[in-house]
Amino acid sequence: MEASAKYTAAENMLVKKLFRKPDYEGAADAFVKAGNLFKICQNYQRAGESFGRAFQLYQREKSMGQAQQALNNAINCYNIVDPTKSAELLEELIKEYASTGKFLQAGKACIQQAERLEENQQWVDARKCYDRAIELLKAETNADSDMRNA
């Protein structure tokens, strides 16, 4: 299977050898490719794992945009096979967006989380997520007006 080979190749890039350091960025890219191949094969569990590994490596290398995209891909894969894991990762994505000042994306992710909670009839938790989304979206508005006033 090509996806498994790509995943193994990515892991091999992380092994320190005699005259070579681990290639974290290259391994992250290879994990993304493996994740996409697993997704094509509809092996969403392995795809989620691959994107999750890519997220960790991109985060390690301070490539926050790529890290957030990899995490979003993992969430979408886990949403199909493991909704609980998907919810945990979505919470992590919200924190990532907020910590990098992307309040609009964080707010949208909160709304997505609230909608999932509503589907599971967890009304109180859904309300908390909607309230959190409102606060994040207000923060985005404040950031925009601060930029205009500068």
Residue 146's pLDDT is what? 52
DSSP assignment letter at 62:
T
Give me the residues paired with residue 17 across strands: 20
Of the candidates 83, 97, 4, 81, the residue with the CA atom closest to the CA atom of residue 50? 4
pTM of this prediction exceeds 0.75: yes
Residue 140's pLDDT is what? 79
Residue 17's pLDDT is what? 80
Strands (E), 1-150: none
Residue 53's pLDDT is what? 96
Determine contact, residues 38/47, Cβ cutoff 8 Å. yes
Q: How far is it, in rounded angstroms, from Cα 139 to Cα 136?
A: 5
Q: How far is it, in rounded angstroms, from Cα 128 to Cα 118?
A: 11
Residue 49's pLDDT is what? 96
DSSP assignment letter at 82:
-
Residue 148's pLDDT is what? 43
Determine contact, residues 30/2, Cβ cutoff 8 Å. no
Q: Calculate helix-pair angle for 64-81, 24-40, nearest 10 degrees.
A: 30
Predicted confidence pLDDT, tens digits, the chain (150 residues): 699 999 999 999 998 887 888 899 999 999 999 999 999 999 999 999 999 999 999 999 999 989 999 999 999 999 899 988 988 999 999 998 988 888 989 999 999 889 988 988 889 988 999 999 999 888 877 655 554 443
Phi/psi for 31 (5° steps) reads: -65, -40
Residue 147's pLDDT is what? 42
